[in-house]
A = this chain, B = another copy of it.
Amino acid sequence: MFKFEILHQSKKSEARVGRVTTKHGSFLTPAFVAVGTNGVLKAVDHVSIAELALPLVFANTYHLMLHPGADTIEKAGGIHQFSGRTGPIITDSGGFQVFSLAYGSVANELKSKGKKKHGNSVLSITEEGVVFRSYRDGAKITLTPESSIEAQKKIGADIIIPFDELPPYHMDEPALQRSLNRTHRWEKRSLDAHLANPKHQAIYAVCHGGVNPDYRKESARYLSSLPFDGFGIGGSLGKNRQELAFVLENTIGHLRPEAPRHLLGIGDIPSITDSVPAGIDTFDSSYPTKAARHAVAFHPDEPVRLKSTKHRESFEPIEQGCPCFTCKHYTKAWLHHLFKAHEATAHSLTTIHNLSYMTRLMTHYQSLILSDQM
C-alpha cells in the first residue's frame, strides 16, 4: 500500500520532488506536516478544513494513549474514522514525550496547557522500556517498543514510528553511544512487532546520534540496513540552524536514497528553507498553528502581528491574493478585533491562513525543484 516515488531529483541540490502514497491518499513532497497532538489540530476541525488538503497530520501517541486510549480509538474504527480526517496521518511512538519528562525538557505542549493534575514522572528506564505515571490520572504506564507499536496499530495512522530513546543535548559520549545502541535495539524490536502485523501501515525509523557525525553516520547506516519504509531524523538536532545543517549533512548521505526523509519537530520557515536542499522530504511542527494562536499570521514579506494597533483599520486580507478561506472572507481589521476581544474564532481563522501559507510555500518549493532552481 505505502509507496514513495521520486518524481524529480534537483540538479542543483539534494532536493527532490516525490509522491507519498498511503491507504488514505497521496501527497507531493516536500511537504509540511501539521501537528494535531490529540488527533485534531488546535482550533480547527478536520472536516471544516478539508479544502486546505493538508498532506499529512501528525498525532501524538502519548497523548492519545492517555486519552481517550488506543483501545477506544480502535473501537471507533481507527483515528481517521474517529477524528473525521480522511487524508494521511502519522503518529509518533510516545517516546519523545516520555523522555522529555525524564530529562527535564518537558514538552512545551504539555507545559503551556497548564492542565496537569498529577506530576509527570518517569519511574524507570530499563532495556525493556519505560515506566511512567500518567499526567492525567497518575496511573502507572509501561511503554516498550512492542506496546508502542501495539498502540499505534490500534490508533491506525498511515505512518508509524518506532520507539526510541531521546537523549538530552548535553550527554557525554559514552552515554550517548549506550543510548544510541539501545535506541537501535528498540527500533529493531519495534520493526519486528510492526512486521508481524503490518495492517497497511508504513514505519519510519528515527535516526539518532546527536550532533556527533560518527554516531549520525552509524545510525543512518544501521537503520538503512533494516526494511523501514522511510527515515525520520530525530534526537538532538543541534542548538541552531548551523548545527542542524551539520546533522543533516552527516545523516542524509548515509540513508537509503529512495526512501522518504522526515525531519522531526522542525517547522520554522528558515529551517525548512535550509533543509529542503539538504534532501528533507517532510517536516512536522506545531509552529504555524501555535503562531496563529499568538496572532502571528504568515506573509511573504514579514509576519503580520494581528494584535498590533496598526491593523485596527486594515480593511484588507492578511495576504493579497491568498486563496484561503480567511483571506477570502475576512480582513486584518476584523481579525485584530477578534484577537482584542478574546474571541476564539481569531485562532481558527488565523490557523487556517498559516496552514494555507505553509502548503503554498511547499508547492512553491516543489516547482523550484522541478525546474532545478532549488
Q: Which residues of A contact B (CB under 8 A)?
A: 38-40, 42-45, 47-48, 63, 67-68, 72, 75-77, 82-84, 113, 115, 312-313, 315, 325, 329-331, 333-334, 336-338, 340-345, 347-349
Indicate if the CB atoms of B347 and A40 lie closer than 8 Å.
no
Name the one of B43, B63, B83, B329 contacting A47, with C-beta atoms under 8 angstroms: B329
Which residues from B are CB-within-8-Å of A340? Answer: 67-68
A337 with B67: in contact, given A40-B343, A315-B76, A330-B84 (CB under 8 Å)?
yes
Are B82 and A343 in contact, with the CB atoms below 8 A?
A: no
Q: Is the CB of A331 within 8 A of B76?
A: yes
Given contacts A75-B313, A342-B115, contact A336 B68 (CB under 8 A): yes
The answer to whether B333 and A68 touch across the interface, beta carbons within 8 angstroms, is: yes
Chain B CB count within 10 A is highest, among A40, A75, A347, for A40
Shortest CB distance A337–B (Å): 5
| Residues of B with C-beta under 8 A to A333 | 68, 72, 76, 82
Instruction: Return the 8 tightest CB-CB contacts between A and B, nearest first.
Output: A38-B341, A45-B345, A47-B329, A68-B337, A43-B344, A84-B329, A40-B343, A67-B340
Asked if B344 and A68 make an inter-chain contact with CB atoms under 8 angstroms apart, the answer reads no
A114, closest chain B residue (CB): B342
- What residues of B have a CB within 8 angstroms of the CB of A113 in the complex? 342
Q: Most chain-B CB neighbours within 10 Å: which of A43, A75, A345?
A: A345
Query: Does the CB pair B312–A68 fall under 8 Å?
Result: yes
| Cβ contact of A345, chosen from B43, B77, B343, cutoff 8 A | B43
CB distance from A185 to the nearest CB of B (A): 33
Quick check: A42 and B343 within 8 Å, CB to CB?
yes
Among A39, A43, A330, A343: residue with most chain B CB under 10 A: A343
Bound state CA distance, A72 and B334, in angstroms?
Answer: 10
Told that A76-B313, A82-B337, A348-B348 touch, could you supply 6 new A-B pairs with CB distance under 8 A?
A38-B337, A38-B341, A43-B344, A47-B329, A67-B340, A72-B333
List B contacts of A334 (CB < 8 A). 76, 82-84
**A341→B63 contact, CB < 8 A:** yes
Quick check: B76 and A40 within 8 Å, CB to CB?
Answer: no
Contact B348 A45 (CB under 8 A): yes
